[in-house]
Amino acid sequence: MTYSPEQYQANKERIKAAQKRYYQRTREARLSYQKGYDDKNRDQIRARKRKPRTELSEDEVEPNNEAELN
């Protein structure tokens, strides 16, 4: 079998198209799974994100206030 630039390019494009289809299919599955989880646990996620400062214990420090002055 001899090397053919046309066959090489055709195979390269075929492989790239197959990879694109695979990643698109798995991306849609991942996004649908994540959306289902988010919908199911919406209240818990919202509560975690909106934790009031008054409920933080003294041991907890907010990440944006960790700058130390040396």
| Alpha-carbon gap, residue 20 to 44, rounded angstroms | 35
Q: Which residue would you say has higher pLDDT here, 7 or 45? A: 7
What is the tens place of the pLDDT at every residue in 15-52? 999 999 999 989 988 999 999 998 898 888 888 888 76
pTM confidence score: 0.40
Least confident segment among 6-10, 44-48, 54-58: 54-58
Which residues, including other chains, have CB under 8 Å from residue 37's CB and lie 6 or more apart?
A: none
pLDDT of residue 25: 87
